[in-house]
Amino acid sequence: MPARINNLISRRKFLQLSGALAAATAINNPCRVLYALTRDSGKKNVRDIREAFSACDMCFNKCGLIAQVENGVIKKLDPNPKSLKSKGMLCARGNAGVKQLYDPDRLKYPLLRKGARGEGKWQRLTWDQALDHAAEQFDKIGKQYTRCGFLFMAGTDMQSTFVHQFAEVYGSYNIISHESNCLLSRNRAFLDTYGVMPTPDVLNCKYIILPGANRFEALVTPDSMDLMTAKGNGCKLVTLDPRFTKTAALSHEWYPIKPGTDMAFFLAIAHVIIKEELYDNKFIKEKTFGFEELKDHVRQYTPAWAAKETDIPADDIIRIAREMAAAAPAAMVYPGRRSSDYEDSTQIRRSYAIVNALLGNWDKKGGLIVPAKLKVGSIHMEAPFYEDNPDNRVDAGMAQMMFDEEGSFKHTRDAVIEGKPYPIKGWMTYKTNPMQTGANRNKTIEMINHLDFMMSVDIVMSDTAYMADLVLPAPSYLERQDPLSVFVASSTCSGVIIRDPVIPAMFESKPVFWIVKELAKRLDLGEHFEFTMDDFRKAQLKDIPEVAKALEKDGVYNLAGPNYGIYEGKPFKTQSKKIELYSARYKDNGIEPMPVYKKPAMVPENHFRIVVGRNAYVTQSGSTNNALLWELQKENSLWIHPKPASILGIKDGENLEVKSSVGKVNIKARITRETRPDTVYMDTGYGVLSKGLTKIFGKGACISEILEDRADIISGNMAMHETFVKVRKA
Amino acid sequence: MAERKKYVIIVDASKCIDCKACMIACKVENNVQEGFWRNWIGTLGGENGSLRTEFQPGQCMQCDDPSCVAACPVQATYKQDNGLVVIDPEKCIGCGNCVTGCPYNARYRNPLKRIADKCDFCEDRLNRGKEPACVVTCPTKTRIFGDMNDPQSQVAQLLKTQKLVKIAAPHINTRPNIYYYEGTKLLDWAVAPMLPGNINRAPEFWKSTSS
């Protein structure tokens, strides 16, 4: 005890002050004292903790983790520093993984719907009963409506590949992923410009524009960490976002851009770079196609013009263009991820891709790179041929250039409702929740009401599972053996990560791999699934045996660079074999070969544009009911600027009605300058219909209830920023 | 290095992205009950709709002159040789004096154990050769942990080379052991500690005894 403490207040004096009270506490409630006395302090005891590697599954990133297991219970998830993708981090959601595992709301056994759809009445089945019933439905629908009459939708998951394989051997082309509610516009744009989807080398960049990409909240490893490291190394960060996100807060400059005008900004940046000849002439000549056309095209897009469109001053646009060019090639327009925003989102992202090309950052340190990816094998299966099947996917031709392997949720849903071009009557979902993530929830319900049979495999009773006829319980990621997963981790490397069960699967939960195998057996397709997960992994590692050892030792395998200049002299996988500033392929398909700016629709009077976004502890709808994360945010709120709030007489925390052309919700107001006066925002993942999500049922509002279901014309990606809402006191 | 250890944390608040990873990591590691937190992220701004511009992690400062220790009537809370201020659960009577006695609001009464509780830099992890959960899990490595008496440690180096500040309570300097990079804007959140029986004493009481 240092002397200073005794000077501060003598213990004796202190006891005089507080002793009486303390004694009273002890006497009045002896239990608490006894509890304290009987407890083993345990401090110096060495705990018997077993460590096990795994890969996180609280979002899509698959960060490396090391589970701490004591007496068969997972006590804690620590980051795995060996993963060069996640670099020794685990976010709030990753840490909350223990509560996804030990969640009283988990599905425990197969359930068959009893009452009306969405009524929440269920009958417990044995697995045999459930699988027999499902197989019967698969068989019946296949016979009556062709095999394509069954739709499959699997989210981002290491076992989704088996759902796809099952769909193929069953005979349906109608497989959709979650991605058409997310990032397809970006992929389309960059693929069509570069012939490949490049990875941003954030770590080594010196100037980054983040257009609507909220990387300090919508976490992507390693980009989110690299962004901070780069900033520490002098990289300038410029954020364009109608919201003052945490990314905006930590950037050097923030511009609350008028939503839907990003293309105007980047066409003006291109205008300045070309007009002032700030580009690398050699790079443009050697590596790009259509520079002269672009030069003519962007002449009209002056900074003064763009200033009026974007609300960003012309001088700033000119300065940013010059600064970027000066930092090039270690300068970039960050490609972003979720791009399900506007009907011309592919063209908007094309403008990002084109500015990157003008910066000459392709294959360069601090630019857009394509790290060498490991060649992982697979077990391929010959899908049977079903003669009566239609010629094409149900959503074929509904977008100008759809990704066949991803499909479009929006267009497929429309097709199911219309029953055209052919009827779809069955739906299997795995680890995806379009009831929450697909704009216009009422339409999803309408779609489901057109089905004869819907089956959901999930961990909890998500809103999508809640609408199903048969709900099958899956184990969490900490209880499963998965195929190996390949990742690309920016400049550092690419790699492979492994996920083995840390503890045995709880309750009656079964992995989807087992489920499709059992279904295949019952449908006389068992021959296609006569392999175990170990067999599958062996096939994956056939050509890369060195990986196995690293996975055992470190839980991850990293393939280090070099990742710059590796494509020098190689043709691009585009029609012109170059970076396509001008796309002749687009022209042939009736699409503008260069992005042509179209003014976004004006926000009507007394309305707001509603935008979609993330925070760092909500993964769409997958984490809002997690007991730990729920403590951070128990419901969502509507962000509204003080100016319109005062006109509408809205006070902070007041209950509001938010209404669009497709639905209305009630939600509390959060009055904040962190959004533009013409733009409102709410987090995704609340206002659930499922009574199985006990922590958040009845809390907050569901954004998909009010988002109109528009689509990106080129990719068929959902366009979620095209909705205007009216706000009033409820 | 025969010298005893002294654990400290150095915080570069400019790196904090307010992702709350440290808060959940702590909660899981230390089994902290619903409604309670051992660490937090303070925010600059946000009042009356203003912009939130800086995020600053905090937790128990493991003070050298801890007012919580002085506040404890049964010597259940004490400062260890390694610098950590800890609570002996066998001695604590749950009176709560230390909770109000902390100028940083770092203590709470554990609702299950019904005794005082707070951050101890994850001593259980330290015993297993691991750094505190909040330090390890952070995406941007905002907190740097170490033994300042080990000249080789990163914290010892930073203490030498970086301009650092401490956050002191207005009326009593408890000599905290969490350092912040100079430029941290949230410096005023420490409060005058209060003790039962003397909460009505003038702030001068604290001033006069802490000199």
Report the pLDDT value the prediction gives residue A45, as an integer from 0 to 100. 61
On whether residue B118 sits in a domain, the answer given is: no
Per-residue pLDDT, averaged over A250-261, amounts to: 98
Would you place residue B209 in the very low, low, confident or very high pLDDT band (cuts 50, 70, 90)? Answer: very low
Judging contacts by C-beta atoms under 8 Å, the chain A residues touching residue B25 are 76, 90, 92, 95
The residue of chain B nearest to residue A93, with distances taken between CA atoms, is B21
Whether residues A259 and A320 share a domain: the answer is yes
CA atoms within 13 A on the CB side of B32: 28
Per the CB < 8 Å rule, is A642 touching B49? yes
Report the pLDDT value the prediction gives residue A491, as an integer from 0 to 100. 67
Q: Which domain holds residue B146?
A: 7-65+124-210
Task: Count structural domains, chain B.
Answer: 1
Q: At B190, which CATH number?
A: 3.30.70.20
Per the CB < 8 Å rule, is B20 touching A92? yes
**Nearest residue, CB atoms, B52 vs list A249, A617, A632:** A249
Q: At A720, which CATH number?
A: 2.40.40.20
On whether residue B197 sits in a domain, the answer given is: yes
Judging contacts by C-beta atoms under 8 Å, the chain A residues touching residue B67 are 8-9
Per the CB < 8 Å rule, is B24 touching A1? no
Judging contacts by C-beta atoms under 8 Å, the chain B residues touching residue A246 are 17-18, 52, 55
Task: Count structural domains, chain A.
Answer: 4
Q: Give the residue from B4, B14, B24 with the most A CB atoms within 10 Å of its CB, the best one to mutate.
A: B24
CB A469 within 8 A of CB A113: yes
Gap from A612 CA to chain B (nearest CA, Å):
18
Whether residues A520 and A638 share a domain: the answer is no
Cβ-in-10-Å burial (0-12, 13-18, 19+) of A501 comes to middle
The residue of chain A nearest to residue B98, with distances taken between CA atoms, is A18
Whether residues A128 and A204 share a domain: the answer is no
Whether residues A145 and A245 share a domain: the answer is no
User: What SS3 string covers B160-196?
Assistant: HHCCEECCCCCCCCCCCCEEEECCCCCCCCCCCCCCC
CA-based radius of gyration for chain A: 27
Per the CB < 8 Å rule, is B21 touching A19? no
Q: Is the pLDDT of residue A519 over 70?
A: yes
Whether residues A616 and A572 share a domain: the answer is no
Per the CB < 8 Å rule, is B19 touching A672? no
Report the pLDDT value the prediction gives residue B35, as an integer from 0 to 100. 93
pLDDT in tens, B135-181: 999 999 999 999 999 999 999 999 999 999 999 988 889 999 999 99
The per-residue pLDDT of chain A, averaged, comes to 93
What are the phi and psi torsion angles at A128 (to 5°)?
-60, -45
Q: Is the pLDDT of residue B208 over 60?
A: no
Rounded to whole angstroms, the Cα distance separating A117 from A112 reads: 11
The residue of chain A nearest to residue B195, with distances taken between CA atoms, is A18
- Pairing state of beta strands A637-640 and A579-580? unpaired
Q: What is the DSSP string of A424-482?
A: --EEEEES--HHHHSS-HHHHHHHHHT-SEEEEEESB--HHHHT-SEEEEPPPGGG---
pLDDT in tens, A653-698: 999 999 999 999 999 999 999 999 999 999 999 999 999 999 999 9
On whether residue A257 sits in a domain, the answer given is: yes
The residue of chain A nearest to residue B24, with distances taken between CA atoms, is A92
Helices (H), A662-719: 703-706
Report the pLDDT value the prediction gives residue A46, as an integer from 0 to 100. 72
Using the structure block, give the residue that is written with the tokens 């180096």: B157
Q: Which domain holds residue A27?
A: 3-38
What is the complex's ipTM, to 2 decimals? 0.93
On whether residue B137 sits in a domain, the answer given is: yes
Whether residues A205 and A279 share a domain: the answer is yes
On whether residue B20 sits in a domain, the answer given is: yes
In percent, the amount of chain A with pLDDT more than 90 equals 88
Whether residues A642 and A573 share a domain: the answer is no
**Higher pLDDT residue, A522 or A32?**
A522
Q: How many CB atoms lie within 10 A of CB A129?
A: 13
Q: At A276, which CATH number?
A: 3.40.228.10
Whether residues A517 and A425 share a domain: the answer is yes
On whether residue B48 sits in a domain, the answer given is: yes
Would you place residue A371 in the very low, low, confident or very high pLDDT band (cuts 50, 70, 90)? Answer: confident
The residue of chain A nearest to residue B44, with distances taken between CA atoms, is A249
On whether residue A663 sits in a domain, the answer given is: yes
Give pairs for A696-702: CB < 8 Å, separation 24+: A696/A624, A696/A625, A696/A630, A696/A634, A696/A635, A699/A634, A699/A635, A700/A635, A700/A636, A700/A637, A700/A667, A700/A668, A701/A636, A701/A638, A701/A658, A701/A665, A701/A666, A701/A667, A702/A436, A702/A441, A702/A665
Rounded to whole angstroms, the Cα distance separating B178 from B165 reads: 9
Judging contacts by C-beta atoms under 8 Å, the chain A residues touching residue B39 are none
Residue A338: what residue type?
A: R
Whether residues A429 and A328 share a domain: the answer is no
On whether residue A544 sits in a domain, the answer given is: no
On whether residue B11 sits in a domain, the answer given is: yes
